[in-house]
Amino acid sequence: MIQRLAGGCLVATLDAGATVQEGGVTLRYPMGTAAGSSGLSLRALEIAAGLHAVPPPPGCDEVLYLIEGSGRVRLGGRDHAVEPDCGFYRAAGQPLAIENPGPSPMRLASAFVPASPSTPPEAPIARLADREAIPTSDRWYRLVVDASCGSREVTQFVGGIPPGRAPAHFHHYEEILVILRGKGRMWSAESSAEISPGSCVWLPAHQMHATENTGPGELRLLGIFWPAGSPAVRYGETPPTT
């Protein structure tokens, strides 16, 4: 089920939308151009035990984030060990295979956009733990996949939000959020929806929004921007209403 908030903001879950089975790879498409995005789309991947080729989104660059499970990724002609909180960039048409030692499935979130001219990098893998935490007022973020991984058009980051509601703001890019930990509410103008692990959000460019953490601990989220940008750049901030 997709909830539509003010300004075209969409809130769903990673298991929503159309489902496609490709061998040992299950793909779900909770939000994207069919729902109103001008180019930024989201899909969720579940990889069964074994070695499986991952079908590419046709004509698109892709950034992926491993949420659950460990294994190996074959990308760019090389093998890479991956564990939770790894991100990686896949240029359009580039073969990708994921090896899951099992027995539980590996789960990933993927965002994809129309392809841009690029040269596939030698090191497309990034680990959250290796990235510097950058504070912004009362929160932090770490860039995971960016130009250093070859992704010049899309930025992938992870952010931490303390309890409370930050000022409403907007960006000049489209944004997808995936909640990794904690619970809260997503605000778009004066409308809102509950969010929890597995929730996903699409925000159009220039839409006023705010993420509220209603839990006792940190709310952690995965964010993707298109075109590429910085989580630290926010416009039109207004204090939250009470």
Q: Domain of residue 232: give its range.
A: 128-238
Structure tokens that stand for 211 in this block: 């993420």
Residue 6 lies in a domain: no
Task: Give the pLDDT score at 37.
Answer: 61
CA–centroid distance for 15 within its chain: 14
Say whether 126 sits in a helix, a strand or coil: strand
Residue 166 lies in a domain: yes
Residue 121 lies in a domain: no
Task: Give the pLDDT score at 237.
Answer: 66
Task: Give the pLDDT score at 242.
Answer: 45
Residue 207 lies in a domain: yes
pLDDT in tens, the chain (242 residues): 789 999 989 999 999 888 999 999 999 999 876 555 668 999 999 999 999 999 999 999 999 999 999 999 999 888 999 999 999 999 998 999 999 999 999 999 999 999 887 666 666 899 999 999 998 877 899 999 998 888 888 999 999 999 998 888 888 889 999 999 999 999 998 999 999 999 999 999 999 999 999 999 999 999 999 998 777 777 676 655 54
203/111 Cα distance (integer angstroms) = 13
* The residue to which tokens 């073969």 are assigned: 95
Domain count across the chain: 2
CATH code of 171's domain: 2.60.120.10
